Amino acid sequence: MTDVKIERHGRVLEITLDRPKANAIDAATSKALGAAFQSLQDDAHLSVGIITGGGPRFFSAGWDLKAAAEGEAPDADQGVGGFAGLTEYWDLTKPVIAAVNGLALGGGFELALAADMIVAADHAEFALTEASLGIIADSGGVIRLPRRLPRAIAMEMMMTARRASAQELARWGLVNQVVPGAELMEAARALAQRVAACAPLSLQAIKEVDRACEDASEREAFRRMREEALPIYQSVYASQDAAEGMAALAEKRAPDWKGR
């Protein structure tokens, strides 16, 4: 039985990490997750992905410490996308929603942080626990969390390893939506369908521009967007989908996106 399961629902690819008991991630699982995200990227008929965990208790406990104890090095080859298949997948142009069904600890939280949106069950908790183990959250946590939360809150979480509830992180704007656990996938799928209803090239261009400009001042971000080689953004206005979107608006009908 595979530890990573994929299901396709129209333009949405659902990816489930299912490694009882804690959905921990070793190098082989990272490679399997990376392959799943690669399939999302490569399939022109897919617009958005959902990543979730199997079972009600853990989204993911992060790095598989049992594998580490058995000799798997922290710098082992994780495959495309780095740890968890997503934390360093810089070329992924399609949006990903994390449906956090339970505890997201250490690398599990880093996986959720690498997604573009987070929907969480009301019992979910998040923590970067690495400092309590004598290591550091270097699969994106130490970089991304201070950019997503007020710096003092992020530093407190990283330097005390404390857990934060889904409700707290929603108040800080890190989590998009908190729902009862039984409604998690319904909510994540509804969000994914709203995303998938928009033009595929537009979605990819948004992600491309955001990634290219995330460290820039407002003026510099405009310069990069207008002047640097951002091929998806540069193709949007001349695309068939742009013409289709305008026509559909004028004709008061749903657009028929082609992704080109």
Name residues whose C-beta falls within 8 Å of residue 257's C-beta, 6 or more positions apart in sequence.
Answer: 199, 200, 241, 244
Per the listing, tokens 């949106």 go with: 117
Residue pair 204/93 in contact by the 8 Å Cβ criterion: yes
**Cα–Cα distance for residue pair 236/223, rounded to 1 Å:** 18
Q: Strand order in 103-105's β-sheet?
A: 58-60, 103-105, 125-127, 164-165
b/e sequence 57-78, b meaning 16+ C-beta within 10 Å: bbbbbbbbeebeeeebeeeeeb
Two tokens, residue 245: 């979107």
The active-site residue out of 14, 110, 125, 208 is: 110
Residue 227 falls in the annotated catalytic set: no
Residue 244 falls in the annotated catalytic set: no
SS3 of 60-92: the string is: ECCECHHHHHCCCCCCCCCCCCCHHHCCCCCCC
The β-bridge partners of 120 are 100, 178
The active-site residue out of 14, 72, 88, 130 is: 130
Q: What are phi and psi of 127, to 5 degrees?
A: -160, 145
Provide the annotated active-site residues: 110, 130
